Structure 1
């Protein structure tokens, strides 16, 4: 009796499963789901271009740009009111790197700060440091991350100043030759900007563009001096402004400026040459002399050790 009831129960369960499968197979819902998916795909492929752009937005547009905008807003709130002017001045000295603005520098400070904070926390956790070393490492790396954009701009401004210093004597010589050959000052500056390369040629081109849009020569020259922190270039601009104001022949002023800058360049080269022995002293003491002592006194030290070890035996 019990076995008959068990067989009946198994049969009923099997029959119910067959009925459910048959209903699902014959039901139009499956086709409806497939048709709905096909309809969605067709709608996506036939959608207008504007809707496709919104749907197919890249990871940068969907995530990175909104985060950058929030970081810019946070950077504006955390920095003082005059921070934008100071950052703009640093950007001018660095040559206005492409894509860099005052807002992006502020946002970069915030992003670098939080990135350095997270990295320092992970490193100290992995290394298993104590509370005080962890605090010092986290604070130090976070401050370094916050100051990283400023350090980058400072390095860019330093390298740009060196390029300006090297290109200035040749540019003034070319200016002098062009003016003495009969060209006007503006035409001579255009000749220098066209035949040279580097940041000085870019500054001369910008000065000419400012003069073409209506600025006076004196204002354009002073703007050129404000965009650089090179003393020789500023003295040259001051001499040109005074010559233009008092009516002094420009060729004569250029000749004097050329000779003075050549003398300064020679003195700068002699100064750099005098610094070489002092700079080479540190690697000589800590790197070269120890290796020399090891190569010269090493065999003698080994023999002395062998002789002492033999005596002890």
Structure 2
């Protein structure tokens, strides 16, 4: 592959991405009216079974991507959409992610003349590694943000449940307690609770709203909590008792996770100690002994 060919391919990829995604990059303003309109349209999807779970829509063909749909496969688009949802980002960021998946390898291809001028195998190895990393870098970044957001929600869940318990025992209803706790918490869990309350206000059934809350996130404790609330409403169990039990259970789990993390610290420090600290320590201790032995000989 000559440098001129790689240069032409890189320029064509950049031009194709810009031309195809230029309309998609004009992201609409996220006004409250448009957000509510999208949620109402999503609630119009009827469930396919009797479980009450909202129907899982297949990944759309995304006409805004244009010819880039041939580059981004259906499975890749579905995976990116899921990670964007877990990261709390809107679906309008999808064209941007696909754009960077095309632009970053194209920019690496533009560096091919520099690599060929070096004429060293090591430069070619670094070039191909950088080419692969540049293609998967947008996915890695979005996935990292999704994991960070989910971990923060898992960490904040016990405190949020404690606040719900206090509000319910003070005489507030469960939905009012959710709205109050969601408004008082600025984290991702507070945002999800506010969205759930808004869905119920717009007419979504409470069961469907709870199931939608669990499906939008990947926190197992949150899913267990929503299932407990649904079962409590079906069997007539007091909500305050369920929330109190769940809060105590979540606090115990958070304490166990902290202990588990603390127990992993010595194992994680073993490799840096053996590779960095111990050799230097041996040098400092044994160097005077070797010097003394050299002088005695």
TM score, norm. by length of structure 2:
0.74
Q: Does 1:279 align with 2:268?
A: yes
2:22 aligns with 69
Q: For the residues of structure 1 that align with 2:92 and 2:272, how far apart are their CA atoms?
A: 38
Q: For the residues of structure 1 that align with 2:163 and 2:23, how far apart are their CA atoms?
A: 49
Match for residue 171 of structure 2 among 182, 186, 211: 182
Whether the 8 Å contact between 1:113 and 1:146 is mirrored in structure 2 is yes
Question: In terms of mean alpha carbon deviation, does 264-273 or 297-306 score higher?
Answer: 297-306
Match for residue 91 of structure 1 among 84, 89, 106: 84
Equivalent position SS for 2:186: coil
Displacement of 1:249 in angstroms is 1.3
Displacement of 1:289 in angstroms is 1.1
Q: For the residues of structure 2 that align with 1:194 and 1:258, how far apart are their CA atoms?
A: 19
Which residues in structure 2 correspond to 1:133-172 (within 5 Å)? 136-172=125-161
Whether the 8 Å contact between 1:243 and 1:249 is mirrored in structure 2 is yes
Q: For the residues of structure 2 that align with 1:176 and 1:70, how far apart are their CA atoms?
A: 48
CA RMSD of aligned residues (A): 2.5
**What is the CA deviation profile of residues 47-67 of structure 1, one whole-angstrom value per residue up to 9, with x for unaligned ones?**
xxxxxxxxxxxxxxxx99547
Whether the 8 Å contact between 2:211 and 2:226 is mirrored in structure 1 is yes
Equivalent position SS for 2:74: coil
Which residues in structure 2 correspond to 1:120-269 (within 5 Å)? 121-122=112-113, 124-130=115-121, 136-269=125-258
Displacement of 1:122 in angstroms is 4.6
Please identify runs of 4+ aligned residues in structure 1 that moved more than 6 A.
none
Q: For the residues of structure 1 that align with 2:128 and 2:148, how far apart are their CA atoms?
A: 29
Match for residue 106 of structure 2 among 104, 107, 114: 114
Tell me which protein shows more helix as a share of its residues.
1
**Which runs of 5 or more structure 1 residues have no equivalent in the other structure?**
1-62, 309-313
Count residues in correspondence. Answer: 243
Q: For the residues of structure 2 that align with 1:96 and 1:177, how far apart are their CA atoms?
A: 31
Q: For the residues of structure 1 that align with 2:107 and 2:67, how far apart are their CA atoms?
A: 15
**More RCO (CA 8 Å, sep 6+):** 2
Equivalent position SS for 2:218: coil
Going from structure 1 to structure 2, the CA distance change for 1:305 and 1:100 (only over 3 Å counts) comes to farther
**What is the CA deviation profile of residues 250-272 of structure 1, one whole-angstrom value per residue up to 9, with x for unaligned ones?**
11111111111111111111111
Displacement of 1:277 in angstroms is 1.0
Displacement of 1:148 in angstroms is 0.8
Displacement of 1:183 in angstroms is 0.6
